[in-house]
Amino acid sequence: MSGGEEVLFSITRAHLDTGMRGFPVGTCPLSDVDPVKGLSYGGYPIAQLAERQPEEVIYLLLNKQLPDAAQLAAFRQELIKNSRLHPEMLEKLSALPRHGHPMKWLMSAIVLMGMYSGTGDYRKDCLQVIAQLPEAVAAIFRIRSGWGELIPSKPELGYMENFAHMLGAPGAGPELIHLLRVFNILHMDHGGGNLSTFVGKAIASGHEDMYGSLAGAMAGLAGPLHGMANQECLRFLKTVAKDIKDPSNETQVAEYVENLLNSGGVLYGFGHAVLRVEDPRATVQYALGEKIAAKDPLFRLAVTLRKVGSEALKKRGKVSDPYPNVDAVSGCLLSACGLADESYYTVLFGLARCVGIAAQIAWERTEARGGKGTPIVRPSYLYTGPEIKA
């Protein structure tokens, strides 16, 4: 049997109601999620990349190899050269209604960026959107939150260092910069089949430009079953802390979890569609939290839940992945480091994930199938309505 005839997956009618979960629909050379090894970028486990500079990891996703010193210096200059937003674009952003969710602002910002800066070249626009998004996201925070005038960009500071500078979050300390660097790297990519990435690539398969495709991808990310999970996990931690007499007491937390599960409740921050081990991104964040937020009450509660939550789920026996995922701890760390409004957390997720989605779109449009690009996505749906009239 030739490679082109190999059977990869047999679809039954029962599979049609599973959201295509686990269906192989394409190839991705940039990142992978292995059930046991976890997330990797370009063959590097995420734990090996988490403390690198974001520019190195962006380069890896765009070029399939880590840069040497000269390549990194040149790449940083390319990011700096492409980093400034058109002034009129920021004026238009300021006119958006303040009550709109921050993710609606992010989608609008990406569309506006395309109107003012788009070239129609997937490779050029990939680099440009990655370079410009930090300023756009910082502007979303400051304008919508009423934090005052926009802070001029200083791209020479570094990719996430400049973002933290432009953000100017009131009351935030140096720990926030460290967290933002790690958070950004951990969330940059996640294989080819997660909802936002798949949606972005599906839109681009119709030859929509980079910006329109990314705006659609961010609509996919915005839902509570995808990118908003980190918000839900922080709210869950706050609820547990409020409902338990002593949240630092492991026995009380364990009793709360047992009662929650016995009543059919959800233990937020646990389980994963692919993984069968603790999410390595969560492992990285637990270790980081001990350095930058060790005394924060919600972080300490998250650490306790890491143990008692897994133990409770394992006892039930039917849970395929009873371990913490990336969202279990990311929200409480952002809160501990000065970003208290969880409605913005998905925007930070989007800032990171746009890197991987843009890189995958650029690859599919310019390199896949020997440079021809992937074909337009066109699945079929089985008709289940009334019999067709004669």
CA–CA gap between residue 276 and residue 273 (Å, rounded): 9
- Between CA 59 and CA 33 the distance in angstroms is 20
Q: Which residues are catalytic?
A: 226, 272, 327
- Residue 235 has which token pair? 């709210």
Residues 81, 89 contacting (CB under 8 angstroms):
no
Classified as helix, coil or strand, 25 is coil
For residue 32, the cross-strand partners are 40
Q: Which residues contact 187 (CB under 8 A, 6 or more apart)?
A: 281, 326, 348, 349, 352, 353
What are the strands of the beta sheet with 38-41, ordered from one edge?
31-34, 38-41, 44-45
Angle, CA of 241, 244 and 249, to the nearest 5°:
90
Percentages helix, strand, coil for the chain (3-state, rounded to 5) are 60, 5, 40
- 361 vs 366: CA distance, rounded Å: 8
Cα–Cα distances (Å) from 320 to 182, 307, 317, in that order, read 28, 17, 8
Q: How far is it, in rounded angstroms, from Cα 324 to Cα 314?
A: 12
Quickly count: other Cβ atoms within 10 Å of residue 212's Cβ: 17
Residue 147's contacts (CB-CB under 8 Å, 6 or more residues apart) are 141, 168, 169, 170
Question: In sequence order, which residues have a C-beta less than 8 Å from that of residue 53 and are 6 or more positions away?
Answer: 72, 158, 159, 181
- φ and ψ at 39, to 5 degrees? -80, 140
Tokens of 287: 């270790």
List 324's β-bridge partners, or say none. Answer: 270
